[in-house]
Amino acid sequence: MAGGGSAPAMKMSDVFILLGVTFLLGGLFIHGLVSPVGVDSESEAYTSGASLLKGDSMQFTIEAVDQSSFSIEIFDEGGSVLLTESFDLASGDSESIDFEADEKGFYSFSIEFSDGSGDVLVDVDRKLLIDFIIYPLGAVCIVFGIAKRKDEQGKEALDAVLEPSD
């Protein structure tokens, strides 16, 4: 510290409360800030992927900005093509493509516009809802931190000046 003093140690209850709030806010950012990606015929194909368990699914929603033609391909870990489809959309139209994983693995996809442009939104739906474990974990940390804080406050020594009464 600048004045030569020392900072008090951080209490364990504060650590758990801070950790729980971080989990909850992080989960909101992970799940809430999904935005579509703009792709056009001039740029490279939009490629990405996801690790899926058996029964998990990916939903692709493509909305055309203008008259567009695009194709979508989905690959498994070995690189073999599982799905290939092509679509033509008028301006303002949208198309939704669903893919469900038959087995556990990493699945990659490629969406390429041959004409026009559009917005691509990819939504991964988990069968086991493992992505949402962060919320109960954060809530447990906050509740434990608050309980620990109440316990620590009950055990604190009171500093007081005792004056003898004459």
**pLDDT tens profile 12-52:** 889 999 999 999 999 888 888 778 888 988 888 899 999 99
Residue type, 140: V
Q: Topology of domain 12-153, per CATH? A: Jelly Rolls (2.60.120)
**Confidence label for 9 from pLDDT (cuts 50, 70 and 90):** confident
pLDDT of residue 11: 86
The residue that leads in pLDDT, 153 or 2, is 153
Structure-model confidence comparison of residues 163 and 162, the more confident one: 163
Q: Give residue-wise pLDDT tens across range 119-142.
A: 999 998 888 877 788 999 999 999
Q: How far apart are CA 126 and CA 97, in angstroms?
A: 16
Residue 108 φ then ψ, to 5°: -110, 160
> Hey, how many other C-beta atoms are within 10 angstroms of the C-beta on 34?
10
Q: Could you read off the pLDDT of 77-112 as tens digits, one per residue?
A: 988 999 999 999 998 899 999 999 999 999 999 999
What is the per-residue pLDDT for 159? 64
Distance of CA 59 to the CA centre of its chain: 16
Provide the pLDDT for residue 2: 59
- Say whether pLDDT at 1 is over 60: no
Q: For the chain, what are the domain ranges? A: 12-153
